[in-house]
C-alpha cells in the first residue's frame, strides 16, 4: 500500500496567515492526489484534484502543488471558515489511501 505522510498533524494560525500543509507519498504517485476539507458534522469537501486543480466554487486562496512524492496545500490568507481538518488522498494505486490529516486551529 502507498503510505501518505501528512505534516504537520496540527497547527495554530491567525486569520490572514499563510498556511502550508505537506503530504509525502511512499512512492511516485504522479499527480494523482486530492485535497479535502473536513469540518465536524459536515460532509468532507473536495478542494483540489490532480494535485493542483482547484475545484469549481472553491475560493482561490486555496492552491495545490507537487508531483511524484511531494505535495503541498497552501491557504494564502486564512479565513475564519477555513478552520478545519485537511486530508490528502492518493488515487494512483489501490487501495486509495489518505494522509493522517492536519487540524488547523485558531491561534
Whole-number Å distance between alpha carbons of 81 and 34: 20
Sole window of 15-23, 42-50, 59-67, 75-83 interacting with another protein (rule: CB under 8 A): 42-50
Half-sphere exposure of 107 (CA within 13 A, CB side): 10
Q: Is 89 in the site for another protein (CB under 8 A)?
A: yes
Whichever of 22 and 45 has its CB closer to another protein, that residue is 45
Sole window of 11-19, 61-69, 70-78, 99-107 interacting with another protein (rule: CB under 8 A): 99-107
Whole-number Å distance between alpha carbons of 13 and 83: 9
Amino acid at each position: 500500500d502507498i503510505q501518505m505522510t501528512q505534516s504537520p498533524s496540527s497547527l495554530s494560525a491567525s486569520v490572514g496567515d499563510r498556511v502550508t500543509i505537506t503530504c509525502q507519498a511512499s512512492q511516485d504517485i504522479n499527480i494523482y492526489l486530492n485535497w479535502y476539507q473536513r469540518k465536524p458534522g459536515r460532509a468532507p469537501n473536495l478542494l483540489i484534484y490532480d494535485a493542483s486543480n482547484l475545484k469549481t466554487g472553491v475560493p482561490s486562496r486555496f492552491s495545490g502543488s507537487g508531483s511524484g512524492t511531494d505535495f503541498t496545500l497552501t491557504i494564502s490568507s486564512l479565513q475564519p471558515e477555513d478552520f478545519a481538518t485537511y486530508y490528502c488522498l492518493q488515487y494512483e494505486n489501490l487501495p486509495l489511501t489518505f494522509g493522517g490529516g492536519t487540524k488547523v486551529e485558531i491561534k
